[in-house]
Chains A and B, each alone.
Chain A
Amino acid sequence: MNAAIRIWITVVGAIWALGMCVPWAGAADFGSVSGVIRVEQAKVKTDGPKSFKDVVVYLEPAKPGSCPPPAARAEMDQRGLIFIPHVIAIQKGATVDFFNNDNDRHNVYFLYDDTGDTLDIGTWGPGQTVSHTFERTGVIITLCKLHLEMAAYILVFDCPYFTVAEIDANSQQASFKIDSVPPGQYKLKAWHKKLLMKGGSADIAVSAGQSFQCDLVITKKSNAK
């Protein structure tokens, strides 16, 4: 083994050792939650503009407290008579930019799934963008009143502990990981537009610097309890 290779192995080994064994500054204050979502007694179609592949996994703190403010804006496009993406998750107070990349006019109309409340944020033409800040939590079905088939889902949470996972067509499974979770007690939940999380939720305890592993099952309503 020549000297150059020895030096290369030493350097790479040191970097690996630092990364694996030594927490990065600040990272040790948080934990993470990861796992696999499995589809049970159902088959999820993963193709098409309104596929069923998206699962939103999120954490609800057992004790309500303050959450960090929303960090980033989100985007939703209207292109080819499709809302893209079909499902997004955001934190309360976050702003979503709605683009129109078609040659036709588009509208954005919200239907709050839990209350039935509606909100028409307007209609705009090609190349135009309208932004909306979400101040209410919940599942918001997003429609375009000019194109009946267009629909998307926006999930608004109090805290930023969520992720959108995509189910694989063949394995009917999806992996998820939620990072930067403060230590504490949480309810782990999953939302899918057709299936329900088996058991409804899972109580978990997140510890600093650790990754909590939890696998979920989503299934038909009749099997969910």
Chain B
Amino acid sequence: MKRFMKWIWGGLVCSLVLTAATDLWAVPTFSRTYKTSCVTCHEAFPKRNATGEAFRMNGFRFADDETYRKQEPVELGDEAYERLWPKSVWPSTLPSQFPLSLITRFMAEVDMDGSREDGVMFIFPEELEAVWAGTLGKNIGFYGDIIFVQKDFGGNETESWAMLKAWLEFESLIGPERAVNLRVGSVGTQGMGLYTARDTNSYYTHYYLYTSWMMPDVKLEKSSLTDFNGNPFSIDAQIGAELNGRGKHWMYSTGVVTGNVKNTTDAKPEDDIFFVGAGDDTGSKDVFFQCAYKIGGLGFDGSGAQVENPLTARPEFWRDDSFIVSLFGYNGTAEIDIEDDLGDTWNGDDDFWRLAIGFQQKYKDLTFGAGYMIGSNDNPYGYLSTESVDSKTWFAEASYVLYPWLIPYGRYEALDLDLPKDVPGLNPDQDSARFVYGCKILIRANVSLNIEGTYYTEGEDLDEGIDNTLFLLLNAAF
């Protein structure tokens, strides 16, 4: 037994490192409304299965929703009212109970290389997330969350803040059902990034490198500057407006966002309470698009559930044999502010773009995916350098449902940055590459444990805060 535990501990010690990700996107209030298990919509929360994706893209509704719903909404007018008096106030509905869900995360960090004073750090809770989501009548959906975060940045003290998101969506504006929908508020919560590789729909607690990397800052202490506000862009929700839609095989999402995000979470945010993705309006807006095409499996609209041979079919709630190819693009302008030690200031724009392609193949219990993103920033360091910066990121990942409650997964990802060598205070070599691997353990349908680690093959010095640290993360949603 002792030897066995040693082996277990050794395995954990060797590899397990987690970073704090947020935004679980599991909404237990839907379990209450439909009186159904989490796994109706999730492979292992928050990662959704094909039914869950169809439910989400259908505006938090099942096809033939009334049949499924067990909690009837409060009617704010009969449907016939709209037919009889189309120029009057159209009816709507309210959820019969306030559609609130809570998600808690508890994290333990174990320092493996003695670099911290405290070898074991409990961050209990690491996160408390209140989520409200639902529908208002047949063509309006809403979502909101407030996330209280307690996070450690590699030291022995934690930082705390609260961040909010909210959006309202008007659905089926023109054309076929759900083909054109307008969302306003915190947009891109599922539409930012490759459809096949979203942080909000993943087993991982580490964000993808391709979504989370930001243009490296200039170290003030190694330069003659007193302030440097670089390009804060990373792929995450922002404030704006978005059009989205879906058919059986296709989906898209495209939006206009403010850009110039003020509070980023790669370090202690500027504000204690803030809206995710809120930015300084500089007069220009950023645009993004995401699209995907699916072959096989359940359609994005929930159709295609027919089974050829019921007696031999062996689907499971996580299975969806299919192939999805996806594209993502972003074009924006960020404001760069520089102040030197003489008090002189410089303001300018950094025009930048990203373009990514990815795919995901699901076959029985195995999921395999990969993605590649290129990008360019024309002037990320202002007057400090005239060079543009090209970037490349890619990843390949796989997961396997060993048991419905035990899902090992792994990802290899790399980031190549063509940084200028002549900027004082900027390390020109900030390429990184790493393995992220771990295991999702469903203790219950709504309680899970993540054990996850990273192994850097390049750029390990850039992430000292999480290097050689063991993170265990317990999630509960209710």
CA of A126 to CA of B306, assembled, Å: 6
Q: Which residues of B contact A125 (CB under 8 A)?
A: 305-307
- Residues from chain A with a CB closer than 8 A to the CB of B309 are 122
**A148 and B445 form a contact (CB under 8 A):** yes
User: Closest A-chain residue to B66, C-beta based?
Assistant: A80
The answer to whether B353 has its CB under 8 Å from any CB of chain A is no
Residue pair A104, B315 in contact (C-beta under 8 Å) = no
Please give the distance in Å from B301's CB to the nearest CB on chain A. 10
Contact of B310 among A81, A122, A145 (CB under 8 A): A122
| B37 lies within 8 A of chain A by Cβ | yes
- Complex partner residue of A121 from B36, B68, B311, CB under 8 angstroms: B311
Q: Is the CB of A145 within 8 A of B317?
A: yes
In the docked arrangement, what's the CA distance between A80 and B36, Å?
Answer: 10
- From the candidates A102, A105, A121, A130, name the one contacting B315 in the complex (CB within 8 A): A105
- Asked whether, in the complex, the Cβ of B68 is within 8 Å of the Cβ of A124, the reply is no
Q: Mark A78-98, 1 if CB is under 8 A from B, else 0.
A: 011100000000000000000
Contact A128 B311 (CB under 8 A): no
Q: Are B37 and A147 in contact (CB under 8 A)?
A: yes
Partner of A81, one of B36, B302, B305, B307: B36
Q: Count contacts on B: residues with CB < 8 A to the other chain.
A: 29
A210: interface (CB < 8 Å)? no
**B35 touches which of A121, A126, A149 (Cβ 8 Å):** A149
A204 to B206, CA, bound (A): 69
Q: Interface majority SS on A: helix, strand, loop or mixed? A: loop
Q: Would you call B63 an interface residue if the criterion is a C-beta within 8 Å of the partner chain's C-beta atoms?
A: yes
Q: How far is the CA of A172 from the CA of B373 in the complex (A)?
A: 66
Write out the residue numbers on chain B whose beta carbons fall within 8 Å of the beta carbon of A107. Answer: 315
Q: Does B62 contact A (CB under 8 A)?
A: yes
Residues of A within 8 Å of B314, CB to CB, are 120, 123
* Cα–Cα distance between A101 and B35 once the two chains are bound (Å): 18
Q: Which residues of A contact B317 (CB under 8 A)?
A: 145-147
Q: State how many angstroms separate the Cβ of A97 from the closest Cβ of chain B.
A: 12
User: What residues on B are CB-neighbors of A105 within 8 Å?
Assistant: 305, 307, 315
A48: chain B residues at CB < 8 Å are 35
Max chain A C-beta neighbours (<10 A), residue from B51, B69, B302, B310 = B310
- The residue of chain A having its C-beta at the shortest distance from the C-beta of B38 within the complex is A148
Total number of residue pairs linking A and B with CB closer than 8 Å? 76
Contact across chains for B35 and A122 when beta carbons are under 8 A apart:
no
> Is there contact, CB below 8 Å, between A148 and B39?
yes
Q: Which residues of A contact B311 (CB under 8 A)?
A: 121-122, 130
At the interface, yes or no: A49 with Cβ under 8 Å from chain B?
yes
What size tier do the contact residues of chain A reach? 20 to 34
- B445: chain A residues at CB < 8 Å are 148
A103 in the interface, Cβ–Cβ < 8 Å?
yes
Verify if B421 is at the interface (C-beta below 8 Å from A).
no
- Does residue B316 face the partner (Cβ distance < 8 Å to A)? yes
In the assembled complex, the Cα of A107 lies from the Cα of B39 at a distance in Å of 14
Is B36 touching A49 in the complex (CB atoms < 8 A)?
A: no
A121 to B313, CA, bound (A): 9
Q: Which of A95-148 contact B (CB under 8 A)?
A: 101-105, 107, 120-126, 128, 130, 145-148
Asked if B88 is at the interface of the complex by the 8 Å CB criterion, the answer is no
Tell me, in angstroms, the Cα distance from A146 to B36 when the chains sit together.
Answer: 11
Q: Are A124 and B307 touching (Cβ within 8 A)?
A: yes
Residue in A closest to B64 when the chains form the complex, CB atoms? A103
A59 to B432, CA, bound (A): 75
Residues of B within 8 A of A149 (CB): 35-37, 40
> Within 8 Å CB of A121, what residues of B?
311
Bound-state Cα–Cα, A102 to B40, Å: 13
Contact across chains for B40 and A123 when beta carbons are under 8 A apart? no
Contact A130 B310 (CB under 8 A): yes
B-facing residues in A160-218 (Cβ within 8 Å): none
Whether B70 contacts A146 by the Cβ 8 Å rule is no
Q: Which residues of B contact A124 (CB under 8 A)?
A: 307, 310, 313
Closest partner residue, chain B, to A129 (CB atom): B310
Give residues 36-75 of B contacting A (CB, 8 Å). Answer: 36-37, 39-40, 51, 62-64, 67-70
Q: A105-B315, A107-B315, A146-B316 are in contact. Are A128 and B306 (CB under 8 A)?
A: yes
Alpha-carbon separation in the docked complex, A121 to B303 (Å): 23
Contacting residues of chain B (283-311) with chain A, CB-CB under 8 angstroms: 302-303, 305-307, 309-311
The 8 closest A-B pairs by CB, nearest first: A124-B310, A148-B37, A125-B306, A122-B310, A80-B67, A103-B63, A125-B305, A122-B311
- The 29 sampled A-B contact pairs (Cβ below 8 Å) are A49-B70, A81-B36, A81-B68, A103-B62, A103-B63, A103-B64, A103-B305, A104-B51, A104-B302, A104-B305, A105-B307, A107-B315, A122-B309, A123-B310, A123-B314, A125-B305, A125-B307, A126-B305, A128-B306, A128-B307, A145-B317, A146-B40, A146-B315, A147-B36, A147-B39, A147-B40, A148-B37, A148-B39, A148-B445
